[in-house]
Structure formats: C-alpha cells, structure tokens
Structure 1
Amino acid sequence: MGQLNTTHAVATHTDDTTLDHPVQLSIENVTLRFPKPDGGEFTALDNVCMEVRDQEFAVIVGPSGCGKSSLLFLTAGLSHPTEGQIRVAGETVTEPGPDRGMVFQGYTLFPWLTVRENIEFGLKRKRVPTPERSDIAAHYLKEVGLENFADNYPKQLSGGMKQRVAIARALANDPKILLMDEPFGALDSQTRLQMQQLLLRVWEHKKKTVVFVTHDIDEAILLGDRLFVMGARPGHIREIINVDILHPRTLSLAMEPEFIALKRRVMALLHDDLDEMH
C-alpha cells in the first residue's frame, strides 16, 4: 500500500476513537483510466490507497475534477478500477450491494412513491415482512424529523426534506457503509447547515461508517473524523488529517482556534495543488 502522510489537529481532546475498530473499507492501489478520443488514455485516479475503520466518519475533500466522486462510485460498485481493488469488510467489491448505501447530490427518490414507501423500498425488495418494514420506516422517519410527512410524495417536499428521505432510505437497509456524494451541494446555505447538523445527530446515534465527499472545507471539518485531502491531475491522496475535536459538534466550532488551524492547513494543501497544476 502506498505511503500516506498524516498530520494532526492542533487540539486533541476527543475521548472517542475508532483506532481500535476493524477496517471496514480498504482501497488498495486503485487507478482509474479512461480512453481518450485521440486514442490515448486519461488517468482520473492514480494509485489511491486509503482505509476507513468501522464507525468512522471519513471525508474526502478536494478540488473539482480531482476524482472524489469517481472514487465513491468505484466503492459503490457502480464502476470498476483499471488497477487495484476495493474491499468492504474484507470482501472485494465487484458490483453494487446492500452493504453500501448511496446518497447522491441529486434527488433520487421515486416520485410515484410516498415518503414512507421510498424508505421501505429496499426493505421490500429484500422481502422484509410488512410489520418489520413499517417499524423500521417509522424509526427512520422520526430520526430525520419527517413523521408528519410520511404520506407525502417527493414533489410536495423541499430539497432538504428530499435529502432527509434519501438518508433515511439508505440507513433503513442497514448498510455497512453509507456513501455520500456531495449530498448537500444543491441546497441553500441555511438548509445545508441544518442538514449537516441532522447528519451529525443521526451518525452519533447510529455510528455507521460514513464516507462523505465534499469540496467545502468547513463542511469537511465539521463532519469528519479524518479528512482525506485529494489532489488532481491525476487524482491522488495528498494527505490524511485527523480531526480531533470532541463530539457532539456544533456550528460554533468554526470560531475555535483548532478549527481555523485545520482549515488553513487544508486550504494550503489545495492551494499547493493548484500551483502544481499550472
């Protein structure tokens, strides 16, 4: 596995660590190439190596075009690496599976199904008995604060509410890993802040392994246990940064010295990457 540089946050006062937890996701020397119209090849990802432990909230952050989403799609089994392999709980990823739940930036709900039916969709396909499906859906409706909208259709919901349903639907299937591809990128700033707080609260309750993609540095630091900072051309891991800030986290953290120091560090990495690209 390739060498990865690691730096730590200024303050280290968290009392909850995942260091002793088993590795849930292993990305091993993954390279992704695409054919070019002129007959050559474009390398989107180059020898990417990373590990995410059980119950960890991992955030992949980097500039547009660095391959963040491509890496997530490979993990989901929606595409395949040119070289290397990806393992979830020790099993090689070859196709999509129920062990990985995916939440996209776009709203991917079924418009002909109600909120409750959308949440139950995966459970129904797995032939979970109706009473159990109903209980699971009711639980996650409460988790995301949509108990009063269970019988609404997606067209009757705001953008933030649609993403709440998407998160509930993914979690209802009890995946080993929740994969999130810039899920709040299309939301207005106020709704985005609300969704970040919702996601943190749900994660603190469920302690699912999360791999979250964003280009927003503040969002990355607020949510993540560790930041995997990517560089582009081709996409690669520049550095891994531990975010040793106590949970539960609130938006007021943005004014704290350790938060500001982390933000400066990530910004410097991304700035250096831009310099190298020009």
Structure 2
Amino acid sequence: MSQAKLSLDQVRLEYRTAEKTVLAIDGVSFDVPENQFAVIVGPSGCGKSSLLYLIAGLSERTGGDIRLDGREVDGPGPDRGMVFQSYTLFPWLTVRQNVEFGLVRRKVPAAERERIVDGYLNATGLAQFHDSYPKELSGGMMQRVAIIRALANDPEILLMDEPFGALDAQTRITMQQLLLKVWEASRKTVLFVTHDIDEAVLLADRVYVMSARPGRLKAVIDIPLARPRHPDAALEPEFLALKRRIQGLLGGHGDGGH
C-alpha cells in the first residue's frame, strides 16, 4: 500500500455568525496516498472547499489534526500548491512571469527557471502566449496558467478548488483532458474538489463523498477505471455504475454532468 502523503484525523471546523455557532465540518478523517489523484464531492455548502482551505493553511481548524508527509499543517507553505475556481493570476505579469513567480521567490537560477517554465508552457500549448498578459487570455487559458504556476513550484500536493467550475462545457472537457495529461506526466499528489460527479469519476483514483452540513465523510469510493481516460469513458457501463453509486450516496445532490 502507498505511503500516506496527506493525513486528516478528526478535523473539525466551527465558525460564529452574529446569531449562532455553525458546525461546518465534523470529525473528517482520511488519508491520501502519494501520487494519488483524489477527489472530494458533496452537496453545496457541505464544507468541501473549507476543508481544502484548512489543508492549504489558509484557514484555521477548530479541532483535529492535518499532516503532510508527517508534518503538522499550521499555516500556508510552498509544499502545497493551490488552484482556485476564480482566476488568481497577477494581472501586471505576463504568462511567463506568472508561471515563474514562485521559482523567482525561491531564488531558482535563471537557466533552471527557463527550463522548468518552457517545459510546462510547451506541454500545455501556451508557449506562443508567454509574453501575453492575463487580460488577453480566455478563461480556459488563464486556468492553464494557474495550474502550471502551481505545478512549476513543485509542491508536495496540488489542491484544486473547483478549478473548472466557471468554464463552459467544451472548455471544461478540454481542461480535464489537459490536467490528466499533465498529471500522468508528473504523478503529483492531487486533492481536487468538485460538485460534478462525471468530473469526479473521470479524474479520480479515489473519491471521498461528504454529507450535507455539517460535512462528514460519508464514503470512500475507489475508481478502478483504466488510464489514460478520455471523455467517451463516461459512456462505459463501469463508469455509469460508479456514477450511480455516488449519486445514490449524495441523495440527488450534485451535478450529474457538465
């Protein structure tokens, strides 16, 4: 069995509003093995994005333990790369400057930076746009840049919060295939949040299903579909059976398609 890269033990999150205390996440425990593509699904408001923010160290948990490579997570760090649903590029930097931002901060030598950035730009079809600014790019292209910016910094785990949620259906399918291609080359450990069940089954080695708020872990579903995977896999009986199983656990919550 693979070594656990990420471990969550009885993670809990409460927050206060003007009127009451809200229990958002209650006692969530699971392990993500090294090199695994793991996906969290759950109904809207179940705390799946909040859980990702806790792992990223961008929010503080109320209780429980989160460890990456055995080290306790107690704040943000370069060992975790984060990709958000909204486009979070620096608008004053070019594509190349955005992708190499973390490398510059880490004082990676210029020749090494160029090699790393060129590799990702070529792999994702962005080489010809290296001098473009974010305002000159489509939504799908901006997310490509955001993903390779996170990967270029060589994090231990890539955290992705519904990164394709704002894209149109065709661009979303294209981006899913691009992500699978880049992931199969790097085998980076990924934890990906989505409400789209088709997307979860297409991408994942394992799916963690959460309950409605307070978010609790309802089930862990292994996805034994062969890789590489393509959009037409969604028509296969095994894919459809996994999709129905997850839909049943969600009780009708969650988007069945794109």
The normalised TM-score by structure 2 is 0.97
Contact 2:11 2:63 in 1 (8 A): yes
CA offset at residue 21 of structure 1?
1.9
Query: Is 1:221–1:227's contact at 8 Å kept on the other side of the alignment?
Result: yes
1:52 to 29, 32, 40: 32
Gaps of 5+ in 1: 1-19
1:211 is paired with a residue whose SS is strand
2: CA distance, partners of 1:235 / 1:272: 16
What SS does the corresponding residue of 2:159 show, helix, strand or coil? strand
Of stretches 54-63 and 125-134 in structure 1, the one that deviates more from structure 2 is 125-134
Q: CA deviation at 1:273?
A: 7.4
What does 1:142-161 align with in structure 2 at a 5 Å threshold? 142-161=122-141
Q: CA shift at 1:185, angstroms?
A: 0.1
Alignment correspondent of 2:146: 166
Could you tell me how far 1:232 is from its partner in structure 2?
1.3
1:95 paired to 2:95: no
Distance 1:61 1:129 in 2: 40
Q: 2:11 aligns with which of 20, 25, 30?
A: 30
Change (3 A) 1:273 1:170: closer
1:272: how far off?
7.0
Question: Aligned partner of 2:2: which letter?
Answer: H
- Separation (CA, whole Å) in 2 of partners of 1:26 and 1:212: 15
CA contact (8 A) 2:42 2:253 kept: no
Deviations 1:171-216 (CA, angstroms, capped at 9, x unpaired): 0000010000000000000000000000000010000000000000
Equivalent position SS for 2:23? strand
Q: Give CA deviations for 1:13-61 in whole Å, capped at 9, x if unaligned.
A: xxxxxxx2211000110010001312x3100000000100000000001
| Matches of 2:124 and 2:52, distance apart in 1 | 24
Other-structure match for 1:197: 177
Opposite residue 240 of structure 2, the aligned amino acid is I
Partner residue of 1:262?
242
Q: In 2, Cα distance between the equivalents of 1:160 and 1:120?
A: 19
5 Å matches for 1:12-161? 20-38=1-19, 40-161=20-141
Which 4+ residue blocks in structure 1 deviate beyond 3 angstroms? none
Contact 2:46–2:212 under 8 Å retained in 1 = yes
Partner of 1:234: 214
Rounded Cα–Cα distance in structure 2 between residues aligned with 1:120 and 1:272: 42
TM alignment of 1:217-228, pairs within 5 A: 217-228=197-208
Q: Flag the 1:138–1:272 CA change in 2: closer, same or farther, 3 A.
A: closer
**For residues 194 and 158 of structure 1, what CA distance do their matches in structure 2 show?**
13
Aligned-CA RMSD value? 1.1
Q: Report the residue type matching 2:97 in the other structure.
A: E
- Alignment TM-score, normalising by the size of structure 1: 0.90
Q: How does 1:175-214 map to 2 (within 5 A)?
A: 175-214=155-194
1:85: how far off? 1.2
Contact 1:231/1:273, CA 8 A, preserved across alignment: no
Q: Call closer, same or farther: CA 1:273–1:142 in 2, change over 3 Å.
A: closer
- Give per-residue Cα distances to partners, 1:111-137, cap 9 Å, x unaligned: 000000000000000111111111111
